[in-house]
Structure 1
Amino acid sequence: MPQILSETDLGKALGTLPRWRLVEGALVREAELPSFAEAIQVVNRVAEIAESADHHPDIDIRWRTLTFRLMTHSEDGITELEHHAGHRDRRRARRPGLISGVSPGRGRGRRRPPRRRP
């Protein structure tokens, strides 16, 4: 059984996970992609990774913004599993085609102009 990280260990873990933050007992990261289609491609890749690790994040999709939440539900908290998952994200983010170069809250794509009402 994975052990819940102590506050000290959690602080150390967060220090090694840029772009992740602690929100309501979970590690959370947002990524904004250039398009909805690219966001879905990232979700599909994360799903493959999660299946192979047998550790699945909660994923919220809002157009081209993805929010990933990591916690061990069976332990109701953050364990070493989330720390490792965050590092898997960092390594894979460097690979072309997966969140590479995408900053939290800022996409590289252009926003559509607002629709004009007649």
Structure 2
Amino acid sequence: MAQLLSDAQIQEQTSSLSGWTVEGSKLQTTRKFPDFIAAIEFVNKLVEPAEAAGHHPDIEISYNKVKISLTTHDAGGLTQKDFDVAAVISQIN
């Protein structure tokens, strides 16, 4: 099982990720797109990196907005896995 990060580690890593915030035990971002089709195309681009990492985000879609939440469920909070996947997601347009 992955090791939980300390509050200091979480704060440090969050500060290096533009557009991501910590809400409770989740690392979150919301992306806005021109329309529903563009939002779904973005979500489809998340599949391969999530599968490769073996770490899958929770995704909420509301028309042109996509909310992504990451947490390591089996560890009960945020681990390095969450920040690694967030960094990859941040590079996807």
What TM-score, normalized to structure 1?
Answer: 0.75
Deviation per residue, 1:57-106 (Å, 9 max, x gap):
0000000100000000101100000111111122x23xxxx2xxxxxxxx
Greater relative CO (CA pairs within 8 A, separation 6+)? 2
Q: Which residue is 1:40 aligned to? A: 40
In structure 2, list runs of 5 or more residues that go unmatched: none
2:54 corresponds in structure 1 to 54
Please tell me whether residue 18 in structure 1 is matched to residue 15 in structure 2: no
Q: Distance in 1 between matches of 2:48 and 2:84?
A: 16
Q: Between Structure 1 and Structure 2, which shows a larger proportion of helix residues? A: 2
Instruction: Return 5+ residue gaps in structure 1 as ranges.
Output: 99-118
**TM-score, with normalisation over the residues of structure 2?**
0.94
- % identity of equivalent residues: 30
Give the AA of the match of 1:49: P
When Rg is computed on C-alpha atoms for both structures, the one with the higher figure is 1
Structure 1 CA distance for aligned equivalents of residues 16 and 3 of structure 2: 19
Runs of at least 4 residues off by over 2 Å? none
Q: How many residue pairs align between the two structures?
A: 93
Provide the alpha-carbon RMSD of the alignment.
Answer: 0.9
